[in-house]
Amino acid sequence: MRLSFGRRDALIAINQLLEDFKTKKISVGIVGLGYVGLPLALSAAMGGYRTLGFDIDPDKIEAIHAGQSYLKHISAGSIAEAMHTGLLNATMDFSRLDEVDAVIICVPTPLTQNRDPDLTHVVRTTEVIAKKLRKGQLVALESTTWPGTTAEVVKPILDATGLVYGTDYFLAFSPEREDPGNAHFTTRTIPKVVGADDEASLQLAVALYENIVSSVTSVSSTRAAEAAKLTENIFRAVNIALVNELKIVYDAMGIDVWEVIEAAKTKPFGYMPFYPGPGLGGHCIPIDPFYLTWKAREFEVSTKFIELAGEVNTTMPRYVVEKVARHVDANLKIGLSATNVLVVGIAYKKNIDDMRESPALRIIEILEDRGAKVSFYDPHVPVIPATREHANLTGRKSIHWEDLAAEKFTVALVVTDHDVIDYDALRSAASIVVDTRNIYTRRSITGDNIFKA
């Protein structure tokens, strides 16, 4: 079929834009400079793109300009180096969104009090982008969400500008895949999934990310990319719930679940190890499954596995506290209300400072509800930051390690197994130790006062 002049000109413009993306003649804007946005901005700058980060937090902007890091797993040196090249900058001025050719959205997608998706940040950010949207721009959403968000929430806001999707502006979804504290994988080395609902948007998004990360896999739609991200995290949530449930069952039988897992993982096929813990933490795994559960209701489909996994995982903090109470009663002959408990590690995973959805916060609350006196020690989290669900704990400070012996703790409860902690000294400083991470067995530290939960 012969093209009209307008359509032919549009294809020429898209092809030229694609070439500019591939040859890094375009600039990239990252909206949201948190755990996802900051490392992505660094990777974009390292990939050769002029990169402008946007955030509403003046402390973050000031830190970046000073070549400093506000995330434990991101080095100040990497920020300073990127700033020195002139390829990285940061601003609170969102009127500058029209200066960049690709806008990547990296904002939070939490749950409401009723555990429904809260897309407030995505909607508000898209509305801000829409005010400055111009021809030739690509918008990519990275925030984890339910399948259909890009097409049903983001696209209508951008369409309302009068610009034509797929011709004037372009839209894609590429789920973030961050694992803070993982020394084996960085933003740049983790493969990317990219999906779009038209060919031009997909080609542009692939060209963009191919210069930022090591490899890119494209899928047929934004919905498929959104579903891929949820599938990754639901897989982990369900399997962690399974081993948490097995822990409870095997414990009742006098069987050590950790020993069982070590034996089972010697099988070279058909099995992969997951490990139990005190509950789920982080922004993704405790939250993302509920995004699919919520969306599935629209199609009158139940998500039994997902909901059951959520029930199991959310009960683990209470299970841990009950185990502490039993160990105290059996070994010290006192009630939980008479104990002085040190919660060791309150970040949601080891060797990082990320507190999002940490089960330690719920454990502290349950312990205190039971009458225990509770302190905490975390070398990476000196002060508990403000959280929506645990506002009463905001501002609490970690004890100093050198004060450990003087406190005479009844119980040291290991919730997060940071590598830098001297676990042998911890064992000596408390009447009993309750280990939720199997760190004592893994370090071959033994003692009559060490118990598992």
CATH number where 250 lies: 3.40.50.720
284 is catalytic: yes
Residues 209 and 303 in one domain: no
Flag whether 231 is in a domain: no
Q: Are strands 170-173 and 216-219 parallel, antiparallel or unpaired?
A: unpaired
pLDDT at res. 42: 97
**268 pLDDT exceeds 50?**
yes
The mean pLDDT value for 302-324 works out to 94
Write out pLDDT tens, residues 73-111.
Answer: 899 999 999 999 999 999 999 999 999 999 999 999 998
What percent of the chain clears pLDDT 70, i.e. is strictly above it? 98
pLDDT at res. 115: 81
Residues 299 and 371 in one domain: yes
* Number of independent structural domains in the chain: 2
436 vs 440: CA distance, rounded Å: 10
Task: Give me the catalytic one of 31, 151, 284, 374.
Answer: 284
Residues 205 and 255 in one domain: no
pLDDT at res. 31: 98
pLDDT at res. 1: 30
pTM over 0.85: yes
- Please, are residues 286 and 348 in contact by the beta-carbon 8 Å criterion? no
The mean pLDDT value for 177-181 works out to 82
CA atoms within 13 A on the CB side of 65: 11
Residues 212 and 251 in one domain: no
> 95: burial class by Cβ within 10 Å (0-12, 13-18, 19+)?
exposed
Domain of residue 381: give its range.
245-452
Flag whether 201 is in a domain: yes
Flag whether 308 is in a domain: yes
The mean pLDDT value for 128-147 works out to 97
**235 pLDDT exceeds 50?**
yes
